């Protein structure tokens, strides 16, 4: 019998937690007053023009209420603005980064890239490519089984 701690699922979960710890440590060192989740939302908005809260929640695998709290925090910190628009004949709030949000995203992105580069230097690009491909395939299989309600 295989125990959970010997499984692929445990290895993936544990690796994810280490990345979360590393990200939190990096943001604490930056002293930029943004959390990992807030950074992710800023990055998603930057790379997805006219994205709405529902779509951000789907990308983060978080519920809309939690995503809304993150967005409210970013708006309060003046890192993004929201405006009302229509999408599929429905009113939606779309977000745009402020100049301050752009600056924080730029500064923190460079710092994070440098931190992750230290990891990448210990793994070949070929290995990274194989890991990414395997994880994408694994995730697609998981999506058909897990069916998250987000």
The three-state secondary structure class of 129 is helix
Q: What is the pLDDT of residue 148?
A: 66
Q: How far is CA 23 from CA 68, 88, 100, 123, in A?
A: 21, 36, 21, 19
Q: What is the pLDDT of residue 134?
A: 93
Q: Give CA–CA dist 69/61, Å, rounded.
A: 14
Q: What is the pLDDT of residue 1?
A: 62
Q: What is the pLDDT of residue 73?
A: 97
Q: Which residue has the tokens 């980064």?
A: 97
Q: Give CA–CA dist 30/115, Å, rounded.
A: 12
> Could you list the mean pLDDT of each consecutive 10-residue stretch along the chain, which spans 150 residues?
82 90 86 88 91 89 92 96 81 87 89 82 90 91 78
Residue 134 belongs to domain spanning: 4-146
Report residue 7 as tokens: 């499984």
Q: What is the pLDDT of residue 149?
A: 66
CATH number at residue 87: 1.10.10.10
Helix (H) or strand (E) holding 47: helix 36-47
Total domains, the chain: 1
Contact yes or no for 26/111 (Cβ under 8 A): yes
Q: Give CA–CA dist 38/114, Å, rounded.
A: 19
Phi, psi at 56, each rounded to 5°: -65, -45
């Amino acid at each position: 019998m295989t125990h959970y701690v010997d499984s692929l699922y445990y290895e993936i979960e544990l690796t994810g937690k280490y990345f979360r710890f590393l990200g939190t440590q990096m943001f604490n060192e930056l002293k930029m007053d943004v959390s990992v989740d807030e950074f992710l939302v800023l990055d998603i908005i930057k790379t997805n023009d006219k994205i709405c809260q529902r779509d951000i929640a789907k990308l983060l695998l978080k519920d809309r209420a939690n995503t809304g709290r993150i967005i409210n925090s970013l708006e309060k910190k003046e890192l993004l603005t929201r405006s009302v628009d229509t999408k599929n004949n429905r009113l939606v709030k779309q977000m745009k980064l402020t100049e301050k949000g752009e600056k924080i995203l730029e500064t923190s992105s460079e710092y994070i890239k440098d931190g992750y580069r230290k990891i990448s230097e210990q793994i070949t690009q070929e290995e990274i490519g194989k890991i990414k491909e395997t994880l994408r395939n694994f995730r697609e299989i998981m999506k058909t089984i897990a069916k998250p309600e987000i």
